[in-house]
Chains A and B, each alone.
Chain A
Amino acid sequence: MTGLKGFFSSRWGPIATGVVVGVLAPILVKLGNPGNMGICAACFTRDIAGALGLHRAGVVQYIRPEIIGFVLGALVASLAAREFRPRTGSSPFIRFFLGMFAMIGALVFLGCPWRAYLRLSGGDWNAIPGIAGLVVGVLIGVVFLKMGFSLGRNRPAPKALGWAMPLLMVVFLAFLIFAPQFGRDAEGAATGPIFFSAKGPGAMYAPLLFSLAVGLLIGILAQRSRFCTIGAIRDLAILRDAYLFWGVVALIVAAAITNLALGQFKPGFADQPVAHTNTLWNFGGMVLAGLAFTLAGGCPGRQLFLSGEGDADAAVFVLGMLGGAFVAHTYSTASSPAGVGAFGPIMVVVGLVFCLVVGLTMRERRT
């Protein structure tokens, strides 16, 4: 056990996590998940928002067990390692909006950083401007960090607070399994939610137990190794340290090999699954997402893992992502394979202005 513990604390931890994600994500696609979307923290949270009825885009509604697994896996790992520490107080209200705009930006590109890397390894070259935007967003965030940006420190909180998010995930799991119908029309007939897509990406999913198991495994590994796709770029920029970065490289390489082996590697720009070819806004959307994630201290995956180990501020960020899904699919800012949404570009600009104001005004208070 000590050996295993040491392994995940070592520089091999993020690499091992990256390899596991890189191998399992394409397998999830093979087993039913949408193309190049074996795992996507943004898309999957968006699907959950749709299933709950927070938006009514009928093609993207499903309670994704991977997300539930992420949180519960991190919970289990943190409990086992005595790292479960309920805490809060680091500007949760601001974090809600960072989560919201991160989601809005990600849905202009059509994917979180994880999916950006997975799209790249599936041969979707539209991911390249997305990843370039992500790097630019993180670097802008690093400038703010160097100028003294801070959301303030958190404080220990009562144990119960840390259990709230895992409990919410258990409720989601129950919704997924029992599919209760809460909506009723005038005649009393069930109208949903809970909604499940009949067609489109929301209707494409791997078997529940397999998805949940993959989510749990990744949640455990990532909690132990601190795998973070945003921290990877940030630490490279500030510390010149590639500890987390090698995890991302491992993910891309492992996923590319797995995609090749499964016959899922299809290089090109056109006709990629759940993607569009607008280079400018593939880039712009991810600048916003990268900046918002950096200001909040981690990629969406990391926010989910943190929420599982008791970080209530990260949990609020995740709620903000649900809110962002509501905005994106109700106010026509989300892209679709047909192209960028009507209000996508303007909302990216609004989000960037919001992040710039936050970055300039939220500063460490000197003690």
Chain B
Amino acid sequence: MSEAYGVVLFFTTSSAIRGEKVAKRQGLRVKLIPTPRQLSSDCGMALRFAWRDADDVRRCLEEAGVENDGLHRI
């Protein structure tokens, strides 16, 4: 079975870019991707991460104060 991924959705492009920056600074393996079409969102960019890192990603974004529209498993 392939690895399970999740994405963080954002309200704005700049939050998405900042989200990537703070997550990478924490050494998390993340990648900005176009928001998966089936997950509707205001922002065209989402941050993909390995689902097992979900708690770390959530905490990291919270600590940096990056507003987001939640973590979603894909």
Residues of A that sit less than 8 Å from B by CB? 8-10, 13, 83, 85, 87, 90, 145-146, 148-154, 225-226, 228, 231, 235, 238-239, 241, 243-244, 297, 363-364, 366-367
Contacts and interface: CB of A to CB of B under 8 A. Distances in A.
B12 A153 contact: yes
Nearest to B11: A153
Contacts, number: 60
A364 B18 CA distance: 10
Given A145-B13, A238-B32, 6 more contacts: A9-B38, A146-B17, A148-B17, A154-B11, A243-B34, A367-B67
Interface in B1-40: 11-15, 17-18, 32-34, 36-38, 40
B33 A241 contact: yes
Nearest to A8: B37
Interface of B: 11-15, 17-18, 32-34, 36-38, 40, 42, 44-45, 65, 67
B14 A364 contact: yes
Given A145-B13, A153-B67, A239 B18 contact: no
Given A153-B42, A154-B11, A364-B15, A239 B34 contact: yes
A145 B37 contact: no
A231 B43 CA distance: 11
A238 B47 CA distance: 12
A13 B37 contact: yes
Nearest to A362: B14
B32 A239 contact: yes
B33 A145 contact: no
A226 B39 CA distance: 12
Contacts of B67: 153, 367
A45 B31 CA distance: 38
A235 B44 CA distance: 9
Contact of A150 (B13, B44, B45, B65): B13
B65 A366 contact: yes
Contacts of B45: 235, 238-239
Contacts of B15: 150, 153, 364
Nearest to B14: A150
Contact of A235 (B11, B34, B40): B34
A367 B36 CA distance: 26
Contacts of B33: 239, 241
B44 A231 contact: yes
A367 B14 contact: no
A297 B13 contact: yes
Given A9-B37, A13-B37, A239-B33, A364 B12 contact: yes
A30 B44 CA distance: 35
Contacts of A363: 14
A152 B65 contact: no
